[in-house]
Structure 1
Amino acid sequence: MNPQNLQSVRVLLVEDDLRVARVNRDLLERDPDVHVVGSASTCQQGDALALALKPDLILLDVHLPDGSGLGLLRHWRTNGMTNDVALITAADDEPSIRLALAQGAFDYLIKPFTAARLSELLARHRARRAAANTRHSEARLDQASLDRLLGVTPAPTEPLPRGIDPHTLERVVAALTEAGAALSAEDVGERVGLSRVTAWRYLEHLVRTGLAVLEHQYGQAGRPAKLYRATGAEAQPPLADAPEV
C-alpha cells in the first residue's frame, strides 16, 4: 500500500462468470483511484494471484468451478493473509453469510447489487485502511482507535439538549442509517414508534449536530416536504449510475 495515496485501491476479482467480472471491473474502475490488478475464475487461480499480487482488496465469489470461495477465504486466514476480503455472490443463504463473516470477510454483497452499494464497500475499505495507517503495526489500540478500524460510528460526546433521550436518539439514528435513503419525520416515527412531531425534533437535532442532512422534495402541491438522510450515506460519492449487476 502506498502511504502517500490511501485512496488508491488495488483489487483482485475472483469470479468465474466472465461477463459479471467485466461488469464489476467497469464499475470499479469508474473510480480513477481503483485499479483491478488481476482477475481469476477458479480458487486455484485466485490463490496464486493473491499471493503474487498482494492486492489491497479481494472481491470473492462463493461458487467457483474447483471449490468454494468460503474454503479459499478460510485457507487465506489460516495462512495469515490479512488482506481485506469481501464476498460478491449469489449465495444468499444465512449459513454462507455467517461463515464468511466469521472467517474475516469485512463485507458481503448479494447479487444483484447496485453501483451505490459497491461504492459503499470501497468507502468502508478505505476507512479501514486509513485507520490502520494511523497506528504502528505493533502498537496497542485504545477503544477509539479500534472503533475507527472497525468502522464503528462514535456516539456524540456533548451533553444532549433537554427533551432528547440518548436511547431514543440511537433508535432514530439506526432507522435513518438502515433506510439508506431520505425519510420524512412521519416515516421515522413509524419505524421507531414516535409521533411525527417527536421524530421531527430528534431529526432536527441530528441535522444541527451534523449526523443528518435535510433535503427538500419539490414537485408536489403546497410546501416542499422535508426529508432527512444520515450523513454516513454521503461520506463517499457513489459511483456513476449503472444497471444492477
Structure 2
Amino acid sequence: MNPPAQSRVRVLLVEDDLRVARVNRDLLERDPDVHVVGSAATCAQGDALAQALQPDLILLDVHLPDGSGLGLLRHWRTQGRTTDVALITAADDEASVRLALAHGAFDYLIKPFTGARLNDLLARHRARRLGAAAGRARLDQGRLDRLLGVGHPAPVPLPRGIDPHTLERVAGALHATPVPVTAEEVGELVGLSRVTAWRYLEHLVRSGQAVLEHQYGHAGRPVKLYRVAGPGEAHQSE
C-alpha cells in the first residue's frame, strides 16, 4: 500500500556548498518517502526552482553567492508563497534567527546538526501538512498548538522497536481523525498491519498522547478505540 500523500515530501535544497548539499541530500533520502527534487547554489537559482518545482519543503542557507537566504525568504513571503521553509546554516547569531522567524521560517538548524534533529524537522513539517489536509475551517487552541509545535516537551528516546517516522505517521492519523478509531482503522490509514498499528497506538497511550477507550455491547471482547488525549487527561492503560 502506498504511504499517505502527507508522508511524501518533495524537498528543494538551496545550498552553495556542493559537498554539504550532497550530505544533506543523503540524510534526507534515508527516509524513503522524502525526495530531493532540486538543488540550487544561488538565490536566483533557488527562486527559479521554487517556482518551477513547487516543492513541499525548502531547506535554505543564509550565506549565498548572490545574496542572503533571508532576503530570498522575505521575497517569497512578499509574493505570497507559503511553502514551509527551514533555514539550515552556519549563521548562529541571534539577529539572523529572529529575522528568519519574523519572515516565516518554520524551523532553523545551525550547522553542524544531527540526523535526529533533521528527522524532527521532517516530522514537524508532515504534522503541519496533515493538519492543513484535515480541511478544518476553524481550529481550537489545542489543535492550533499542535500545528505550531507549541507546548510539547523535549523528545525522549523511543523504546526499542518504535520507529520515529512510523510513530509520527500514526500520531498524525490519530490527530486527523475526529472520532475514536480502532488499530485496524489506523493501520488502513497509514499502510500498517493491525498489530503494528496497535503497538504504536499503545505507545502513544503510555506516553500520554492518546487515550484508550473500550466499546462494550458487542459479543466477545470489547472493542479498543483510540483518540487523541485532551488537555490534562490522565494516562489510561489496560
- For Structure 1 versus Structure 2, the TM-score category normalised by the shorter chain is 0.5 to 0.7
Residues 93-129 of structure 1: CA distance to partner in whole angstroms, max 9, x if unpaired?
0000000011110100000011111111101101111
Instruction: Say yes or no: does 1:146 pair with 2:144.
Output: yes
Distance 1:34 1:97 in 2: 26
> Cα 1:208–1:146, aligned 2, differ >3 Å: closer, same or farther?
closer
Gaps of 5+ in 2: 159-203, 210-238
RMSD of aligned C-alpha atoms? Answer: 2.4
Distance 1:141 1:48 in 2: 34
Look up the SS of the partner of 1:117 in the other structure: helix
Q: How many residues align?
A: 163
Amino acid aligned to 2:96: S
Residues 37-95 of structure 1: CA distance to partner in whole angstroms, max 9, x if unpaired?
00000000000000111100000000000000000000000110000000000000000
Identity percentage over the alignment?
Answer: 75
Instruction: Say yes or no: does 1:96 pair with 2:96.
Output: yes
Equivalent residues in 2 for 1:119-198 (5 A)?
Answer: 119-136=119-136, 139-153=137-151, 174=153, 177=154
Name the TM-score, length of structure 2 as normaliser. 0.63
Amino acid aligned to 1:143: Q
Structure number with greater CO (CA < 8 Å, separation at least 6) is 1
Name the TM-score, length of structure 1 as normaliser. 0.62
Distance 2:18 2:90 in 1: 15
Distance 2:3 2:143 in 1: 18
Instruction: Say yes or no: does 1:19 pair with 2:43.
Output: no
Distance 2:3 2:128 in 1: 14
Cα deviation for residue 5 of structure 1 reads: 1.9
Cα deviation for residue 209 of structure 1 reads: 5.5
Residues 125-179 of structure 1: CA distance to partner in whole angstroms, max 9, x if unpaired?
011111111125xx2332233222212357xxxxxxxxxxxxxxxxxxx5xx27x
Distance 1:84 1:31 in 2: 18
Residue 197 of structure 2 aligns with which residue? none
Look up the SS of the partner of 2:7 in the other structure: coil
Distance 1:27 1:78 in 2: 31
Distance 2:117 2:133 in 1: 24
Equivalent residues in 2 for 1:2-151 (5 A)?
Answer: 4-136=4-136, 139-151=137-149
Gaps of 5+ in 1: 155-173, 183-206, 213-245
Residue 199 of structure 1 aligns with which residue? none
